[in-house]
Amino acid sequence: MGTLKLSREALYSNLDIIAQQVGAKDKIAVVLKDNAYGHGAVLIAQAVAKYGVTQAVVRLESEALEIAEFFENILILADFSTVVDSKFSYAINALDAIEKFPRGTKVELKIDTGMHRNGISPDDLKRAFKCMSQQGLKCVGVMSHFKSADTLSSEWFWQRKAFDALKETAVRLAKSYGWNIRFHISNSAGTFRSSQCTDDLVRIGIAMYGCLQMDPTLLQPTLKPVLSLYGNKMATRILKEGERVGYNGIYEAAYDEVVSTYDLGYANGLDRLASNQYVTPQGIALRGRISMDSATFSTDMDELLIFSDANEYAQCVGTIGYEILACLDKDLKREWCD
């Protein structure tokens, strides 16, 4: 059902750029949630560990368990503890979540600095530390998240200022409870908004995978897409002039044309909105509707490159590369191509 080919050269090139931006490899925490943005969590975990990254970020505890052997620390963003593992820390996203964690759990307190999605108010910092202590938790970090670091606006500046303003109080509170804490707010875009990394780590997702898109007025690092999607031919035929192909026959051949069906459809991550309008990087047109498990292109190639940059495919359907990558079928074959 198609193949995802991954480039180590691109991955390591991206990590080199990120490490240079933040000053050291040990400030990088790689985001491997949702199957490493579709790339394959275990494959990417093995590769980044070999590169020298020791910290990771995931969404669920089950994801952390899958890659635990490769990292020293794993932050779990949206789950509760069911196992005891000294490598794991869990994000506290609301005050009432504190009581849901068992005693001894390592946690990191999320602060709402303006995104208004989750996290506690800065005004509740003192209360949150007291509640974590009473619950028997160990706070090891204070974190937040930028809402629009990839666009030119004042919001990055005032979120940065708000987060920095609470650090002194957080350190003082942590010391009073015997905790040493780390600070982090930057996602991929935030990492490239400043030439100085003033936090203890950055959480790198889309930049590592080479699909970061910044406002044209901002620094755009020379990152390389890591993932390319290929389809394998199932059948070839000559579509006669006037014949139609696929559901509802939305494409009609203007001349006798060789077309082939490939083993990828919307169940595998091809967006159905690309039907009858997408053209591959090699200039090969998609003909007719994308089916659940297949799609037809104007070629007879045995193996067809569908896309080598998720952002370019995303433009065709009016979305973002994140969505295209995250929706790639977990059962697709994944392999290194270099």
Q: Which residues are catalytic?
A: 33, 247
CA-CA distance, 205 to 201, in Å (whole number)? 13
CA-CA distance, 34 to 328, in Å (whole number)? 10
Q: Which amino acid, one-letter code, is at 101?
A: F
Please report which residue ranges of the chain form alpha helices under DSSP H. 8-22, 33-37, 41-51, 61-67, 125-134, 155-176, 188-191, 310-317, 321-326
Backbone torsions φ then ψ of 335, nearest 5 degrees = -150, 155
Judging by beta carbons within 10 Å of its beta carbon (0-12, 13-18, 19+), is residue 82 exposed, middle or buried? exposed
Neighbouring residues of 294: CB distance < 8 A, sequence distance ≥ 6: 234, 261, 262, 263, 264, 265
Q: How is residue 34 written in tokens? A: 């949702």
CA-CA distance, 180 to 138, in Å (whole number)? 9
Q: How is residue 134 written in tokens? A: 């009473």
53 close to 15: Cβ distance less than 8 angstroms: yes
5 close to 230: Cβ distance less than 8 angstroms: yes
CA-CA distance, 271 to 18, in Å (whole number)? 30
230 close to 303: Cβ distance less than 8 angstroms: yes
- Of 229, 226, 238, which is closest to residue 303 (Cα–Cα)? 229
Q: How is residue 325 written in tokens? A: 């990558």
